Amino acid sequence: ANTITEYDTIAAISTPVGEGAISIVRLSGEDSVAIANRVFRGKDLNEVPSHTINYGHIVDPETDEVIDEVMVSVMRAPKTFTREDVIEINCHGGLLATNHILQLLLAHGARAAEPGEYTKRAFLNGRIDLTQAESVMDLIRAKTDRAMQVAVNQLDGNLAHLIQNLRQEILQVLAQVEVNIDYPEYDEDELTTKMLLEKADLVGQQIDTLLKTARQGKVLREGLATAIIGRPNVGKSSLLNYLLHEDKAIVTDVAGTTRDVIEEYVNVNGVPLKLVDTAGIHKTEDKVEKIGVDRSRQALAQAELVLLVLNQSEPITDEDRELLKATQAKKRIILLNKTDLPARLKAAELASYLAPDERPINISILKQSGTDTLETKISELFFGGIETNQATVLVTNARQISLLQQAKQSLEDVKSGIAAGMPIDLVQIDMTNCWDKLGEITGESAPDELITQLFSQFCLGK
Ligand code: GDP
Ligand code: ZN
């Protein structure tokens, strides 16, 4: 890492480009105030107290052209996100004015920030740990209130504290083992191994608890890939439209990223569903006969949850049977749609395709009856068996999960080593390994490379 340029003054637009009425251009670094002052007409920013907001105009000093009317926040180190001097220019301009301001700042001494560079500085300056840095990213991408809450908890350092406690436990036992090795006259091998085993169990259990939350965490972060399938005309588009209706649709554009596939996210009782292959749903309308089942199969392959729609006002068809079979191994919810019409689907035949405890949901999407039951069912499926109060720590991210698994593996190695009668100093290595892996989660023992790679995943301006 190039530690010299690490701390020059950086600038970026830190609000999503082209969205909202206000944009923020942010500076961080030693020269933030001086650089802003060069293009600001209003109070002398060098003179204003820290943590104040100052009204004025951004003016190109070369041409005297007024670019925008702005509010400038001056926040001096160390009580800032990066622990450096930070300036935030709130402008109400569209893209053009905002860009113009950024260009002016770059022309007057700032350097364009790399993606994630603000957060990286906060980490390098000791303001936050890696789990907190990752939660900043989660916050940016949070798709529901719950996802937001999880990210906020992590930003508070809850996960980091948990991990630090586990490391402390391990450190204690390692120190004790060291003493026992150094003073062999006191050494009672049995006592040492007993202590190691107990600790491996204790720490292992807590890691397991964290790992159990991982699936929920991942879903909150990424959305639960959900496919709506069914033969033509059963009501798939109607269901899709219902789900996308008003407040349920989640705006997902993340600044600085492009996606070639449009994914649609909806918030169902706090569970973000990522609807897969919604294009396929619309397509069945054009070519009713052919595409239905084939297309459904493709969507099925990607789905973690299947909403299988049947039309209960008609008898089961071969296509229905095929889809019932194809989804048997999936997490699915079967919807018997069009309950406003007379029932012609034979319950007994349907039952032969269901798991013993599987309960299809009667629904009329047209009349919006049964839709509450569907929504409740989705959140039960997802949150069932897990506490989700505000203090819950959920492991949300693949890097963290993988490190927890490796830490757990080291503990298994400790146990099997002891069982095989390995010398204590070898067992000690595995225990130390566990300590190391846990430290990587918070960044206390993370290699440089990893840090660079991790922060490059952030959006520009964060
Ligand atoms: P898709 O081909 O599976 O996407 O089905 P659509 O959503 O396009 O619906 C096919 C037809 O069924 C449309 O005319 C809908 O208005 C109608 N439909 C959808 N849901 C219901 C319902 O609950 N009751 C009734 N009576 N008609 C429905
Ligand atoms: Zn349709």
Per residue in 84-113, pLDDT (tens digit) is 999 999 988 677 888 899 999 999 999 988
pLDDT at position 125, please? Answer: 85
User: Ligand 1 center to residue 40 CA distance, Å?
Assistant: 59
Closest by CA position to 333, among listed 267, 377, 272: 377
DSSP 364: B
CA of 194 to the centre of ligand 2 (A): 64
Q: Is the ipTM of this complex over 0.85?
A: yes
- pLDDT, tens digit, 9 for 90 and up, residues 218-255: 777 778 889 888 888 898 888 988 888 754 555 443 33
Q: Which atom of ligand 1 is nearest to the CA of 285?
A: 2
| Residue ranges near ligand 2 (ion) with Cβ within 5 Å | 237, 285
Taking the centre of ligand 1 as the mean of its atom positions, its distance from the CA of residue 380, in whole angstroms, is: 26
Q: What is the dihedral of CA 181, 182, 187, 191, to 10 degrees?
A: -50
Question: Residue whose CA is closest, atom 18 of ligand 1?
Answer: 235
What is the spatial order of strands in the sheet that 111-112 belongs to? 40-42, 52-59, 66-75, 86-91, 23-28, 10-13, 111-112
Alpha helices by DSSP H, 108-188? 117-124, 130-141, 145-155, 158-182
Q: Is 295 in the pocket of ligand 1 (CB under 6 A)?
A: no
Q: Are 339 and 232 in contact (CB under 8 A)?
A: no
Which among 361, 315, 308, 372 is positioned nearest to 339, based on CA atoms?
A: 361
Q: Which domains does the chain have, with CATH numbers?
A: 5-128 (3.30.1360.120), 145-213+395-443 (1.20.120.430), 228-237+254-382 (3.40.50.300)
Lowest mean pLDDT among 87-101, 119-133, 179-193, 302-316: 179-193
- How high is the pLDDT of residue 439? 93
Binding site membership of 340 for ligand 1 (Cβ less than 6 Å): yes
| The pLDDT value given to residue 114 | 83
Alpha-carbon distance of 201 to 316, in angstroms, equals 53
CB 23 within 8 A of CB 66: no
Instruction: Compute the distance between CA of residue 274 and CA of residue 382 in angstroms, rounded to an integer.
Output: 13
Whether the predicted pLDDT of 348 surpasses 50: yes
294/443 Cα distance (integer angstroms): 47
Using a CB cutoff of 8 Å and minimum separation of 24, what contacts does 110-113 make? 110/9, 110/10, 110/11, 110/27, 110/29, 110/31, 110/32, 110/35, 111/5, 111/8, 111/9, 111/10, 111/11, 112/10, 112/11, 112/12, 113/10, 113/11, 113/12, 113/28, 113/460, 113/461
Q: How confident is the model at residue 285 (pLDDT cuts 50, 70, 90)?
A: very low
**Residues ≥6 apart with Cβ < 8 Å to 276:** 225, 226, 227, 263, 299, 302, 303
Of these ranges, 143-147, 408-412, 450-454, the one predicted with the greatest mean pLDDT is 408-412
Is the dihedral angle over the CA atoms 365, 369, 372, 374 positive or is it negative? Answer: negative
- Residue of the nearest CA to atom 15 in ligand 1? 235
Peptide bond into 78 cis (omega under 30): yes
pLDDT of residue 411: 97
**Cα separation values, 433 from 421, 439, 442, Å:** 19, 10, 15
Here the tokens at position 67 are 């670019």
Helix (H, G, I), strand (E, B) or coil at 406: helix
Is 235's C-beta closer than 6 angstroms to any atom of ligand 1?
yes
Which residue shows structure tokens 């619309």?
A: 282
How far are the Cα atoms of 43, 85, 110, 124, 300 from residue 59, in angstroms, in the given order? 13, 22, 16, 34, 56
8-52 residue pLDDT tens: 999 998 876 555 567 899 999 999 999 999 999 999 999 999 999
pLDDT recorded at residue 122: 87
Is the beta carbon of 370 within 6 A of some atom in ligand 1? no
Express each pLDDT in 358-396 by its tens digit.
999 999 999 999 999 999 898 888 776 555 554 567 787
Residue 307: name the closest of 403, 387, 240, 220 by CA. 240
Ligand 1 near 362 CB (within 6 A): no
- Backbone φ and ψ for 155, nearest 5 degrees, come out as -65, -30
- C-alpha span between 49 and 45 (Å, rounded): 8
> In a 10 Å sphere around its CB, with 0-12 CB exposed, 13-18 middle and 19+ buried, how is residue 131 labelled?
buried
Return d(Cα 4, Cα 292) in angstroms, integer: 59
As given in the structure block, the two tokens for residue 337 are 């749609």
H/E element, 227: strand 224-229
Give yes or no for a contact between 133 and 115, defined as CB atoms under 8 angstroms apart: no
- 309 forms beta bridges with 335
Instruction: Tell me the pTM.
Output: 0.60
Identify whether the C-beta of residue 210 lies closer than 8 Å to the C-beta of residue 404.
yes
User: Residue 290: is it exposed, middle or buried by C-beta count within 10 angstroms (0-12/13-18/19+)?
Assistant: exposed
Structure tokens at 422: 């390995």
Q: Ligand 2: distance of its center to the CA of 250 in Å?
A: 21
Q: Confidence class of residue 150 from pLDDT cuts 50, 70 and 90?
A: confident
**How far does residue 53's CA lie from ligand 2's centre (Å)?**
52
Residue owning the nearest CA to atom 10 of ligand 1: 233
Contact status, residue 310 vs residue 316, Cβ threshold 8 Å: yes
pLDDT digits (tens, 9 = 90+) for 409-449: 999 999 999 999 998 889 999 999 999 999 999 888 777 77
Distance 308 CA to ligand 1 centre (A): 14
Q: Closest by alpha carbon to 162, among 220, 210, 221?
A: 210
* Type of residue found at 8: D
Structure tokens at 166: 């586990």
278 lines ligand 1 (CB under 6 A): no
